[in-house]
């Protein structure tokens, strides 16, 4: 993993002249590099996978430095490797996300219901009480829960929603997050309240980090509401994720 992340650092430094340092502040540089590399990667599958693995490893390391987590490398192909979190039941697939960023087709419209950057909106959400969270869950169940359940898994074990066009973009933002259904519904409702963002912002690694931050916040809020300690948590271990793909 360290070798892949170092490769990304070298690629970006050669391209833009700045060395990444595993901080969130450097993610816009990574996004700029990935945007430049899209045309080259689109023409060559080997380049696409190399960039997805190296940039995904770097992005994953940035996330891992923000939240206590470990890499689960149960798949032979690094594209299927994921981060599993200690404080909350949450897993994320950085390589698959970066591959999606690089290989996407640019569309004229921005995805709706994606994560915004307005601090005021986030502050308002943070002040929601437990009843608001219950309301959010009810709304999300009605709006985005598919008939076979939110958080169904494809053949690669990645969670995805299947409720049609109305919730498609919101589900896309959650597609590479593996979490309990009840937390997914609340997170989807929180994201749906935020203003739309441009396609560039939607696929930015910094925006996806904000989604992950919000996911952790949502899950911790539920834990505390259920009687958990506000300052401490029962740490999860790799075994807690086994058999739950």
Question: Are the C-beta atoms of 84 and 172 separated by less than 8 Å?
Answer: no
pLDDT for residue 234: 87
In a domain, residue 183? The reply is: yes
Between CA 132 and CA 123, with CA 201 as vertex, the angle to 5 degrees is: 30
The model's pLDDT over 83-123, given as tens digits with 9 standing for 90+, comes to 999 999 999 999 999 999 998 875 544 444 444 433 444 44
In a domain, residue 122? The reply is: no
Hey, is 185 helix, strand or coil? Answer: helix
In a domain, residue 131? The reply is: no
pLDDT for residue 171: 54
Domain count along the chain:
1
- Tell me the average pLDDT across 150-179: 49
pLDDT for residue 145: 36
In a domain, residue 193? The reply is: yes
In a domain, residue 162? The reply is: no
The model's pLDDT over 199-227, given as tens digits with 9 standing for 90+, comes to 889 999 999 999 999 999 999 999 999 88
* Domain enclosing residue 206, as ranges: 1-105+176-234
In a domain, residue 227? The reply is: yes
Backbone angles phi, psi at 115, to 5 degrees: -70, 125
In a domain, residue 149? The reply is: no
pLDDT for residue 97: 94
> DSSP letter at 109?
S
In a domain, residue 75? The reply is: yes
Question: Are the C-beta atoms of 4 and 57 separated by less than 8 Å?
Answer: yes
């Amino acid at each position: 993993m360290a070798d892949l992340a170092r490769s990304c650092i070298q690629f970006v430094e050669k391209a833009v002249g700045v060395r990444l340092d595993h901080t969130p502040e450097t993610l816009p540089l990574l996004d700029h590099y990935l945007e430049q590399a899209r045309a080259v990667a689109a023409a060559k599958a080997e380049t696409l996978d190399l960039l997805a693995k190296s940039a995904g490893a770097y992005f994953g390391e940035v996330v891992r430095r923000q939240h206590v987590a470990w890499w689960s490398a149960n798949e032979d192909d690094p594209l299927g490797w994921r981060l599993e979190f200690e404080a909350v039941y949450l897993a994320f697939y950085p390589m698959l996300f970066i591959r999606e960023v690089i290989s996407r087709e640019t569309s004229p419209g921005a995805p709706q219901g994606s994560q915004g950057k307005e601090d005021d909106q986030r502050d308002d959400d943070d002040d929601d009480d437990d009843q608001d969270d219950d309301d959010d869950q009810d709304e999300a169940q009605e709006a985005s829960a598919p008939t076979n359940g939110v958080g169904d898994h494809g053949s690669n074990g990645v969670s995805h929603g299947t409720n049609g066009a109305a919730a498609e973009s919101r589900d896309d933002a959650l597609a590479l997050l593996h979490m309990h259904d009840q937390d997914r519904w609340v997170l989807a409702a929180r994201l749906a309240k935020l203003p739309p963002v441009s396609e560039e912002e939607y696929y930015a690694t910094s925006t996806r980090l904000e989604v992950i931050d919000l996911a952790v916040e949502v899950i911790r809020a539920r834990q505390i509401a259920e009687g958990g300690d506000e300052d401490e948590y029962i740490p999860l271990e790799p075994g807690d994720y086994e058999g739950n793909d």
